[in-house]
Every structure is written in structure tokens, then in C-alpha cells.
Amino acid sequence: MKFFMDTAEIDEIRPLVETGLVDGVTTNPSLIMQSGRDIFEVTKEICDLVDGPVSAEVAATDYETMVREAAALYDIADNVCLKVPLTKDGLKTCKYFTDQKKMVNVTLCFSATQALLAAKAGATFISPFVGRLDDIAHDGMSLIQDIRIIYDNYDFNTQILVASTRHNMHILDSALIGADVVTLPPKVLHQLFKHPLTDTGLAAFLEDWQKTGQSIAD
């Protein structure tokens, strides 16, 4: 399963890229606003840092303007993945660019039938928002399960990109279901490193090592 970082903060992305765990990045208008950066400048910096897809989202809602904005976003770098909303005009834009072999991430998916439409439009990625469904007392992960079954039934190539992840269990369940990608805030990735038995085990090993009086590097 691929890990995408859901942020537009360069200082958060760079150290995680150095771990080898980052396969791509997703941004959206809210994350760009939070960064306080120009969308073209920050997206170019991210694309230079990351080898994989970097999702950059249109702000328009009509097809003609989406296409114009998309052209400007695709010009930033070869690894830009256009991000469009799951609307009729968004899917029309998706088909237009996927027919040209461009990457498109269809976002704001909240039902399996919406995901089916995105796959038929040729989407590279579909982004179901599990956390937002959980917020309204729906089971977000059941949506991922349904999409996985539908895509496998018909051999769709669209990758399931689990979005709006909030905690470790979202990541674990996504992997168990067989999602292709999760996009997660850096703080959630940092949580994946943590386990109390790792901490206590390491402390015990270090204590015993000090008692030997030995040094490995010297």
C-alpha cells in the first residue's frame, strides 16, 4: 500500500521523504490556504521533493474553467496529478485528461456508486473520505470495502486512495481491505512508529548495553 502525505507544508514533507516512506503527496485548497504559500510555488517545491504523484486541485466548478486551470497546474511539473471534485463537470474534466494519459484524482467521494462513475470516467485515483463519513455516524471503512469489491468485479484500474484518515485504525483497515493508497497527515504517519513495547524494549537493550562498557562506532 502506498503512503501519500496530506499536507502542503514543505518542512513536514522533507524529513518524511528521507525515510523512504512517502510515495506521493495530496493537497487541496484548504491545505494551500493553511500553508500561506502561492499554489504554484509550493506545488513546484513539493514536486521537486517527491518522485510520485502530487495532487493539485482545481478551484473551478464548471468544465471550461476546470480545463483551463488544469492546464496551468499540469504545467508545474510532470508528476502533477490533477484533482477534481466528484461532480458531473469534474468527471467530464477527468475523462478529458485521462484520455490524454494524464493523472487525475477524483475527490470528495462518499458513496460506492460515485466511485463507480469515477472509474468509468477513467480516474487514476478515487478519494473516498472515511473520516468525514465517520463524523456523521457512517462507517467510512465499509465504503472502502464496497469500492474494492466493485473495482475487483470489473477489473477497473482506478486506484483506491483512502482520504480523510484520522488515526492508526484507518490505516490498518485500509491495508486489510486492500486499498491501493492512503493519504494521511504527517502526524498520523508519526503515530504509526509508536508502540509502548518498542519503547520499553529499546530502553532495556540500551541499559544492558551500557553495562557492557563496549562501543561499536569507536
Report phi then psi at 103, rounded to 5: -80, 135
Give the Cβ contact number of residue 193 at 10 Å.
9
Q: Which three cell numbers stand for residue 108?
A: 470528495
For residue 101, indicate whether it is catalytic. Answer: no
Active-site hit among 44, 83, 101, 120: 83
Say whether 85 sits in a helix, a strand or coil: strand
Residue closest to 13 by CA, chosen among 214, 190, 205, 191 = 190
Contact 34, 211 (CB under 8 A): no
Dihedral (CA of 163, 161, 25, 74) sign: negative
| CB burial string 24-36: b at 16+ within 10 A, e below | bbbbbeebbeebe
203: exposed, middle or buried (C-beta count within 10 Å: 0-12, 13-18, 19+)? exposed
Amino acid at 27: T
Report CA-CA distances (Å) from 119 to 61, 115, 180.
20, 6, 14
Q: Which three cell numbers stand for residue 139?
A: 462507517
Q: Which residues are catalytic?
A: 83
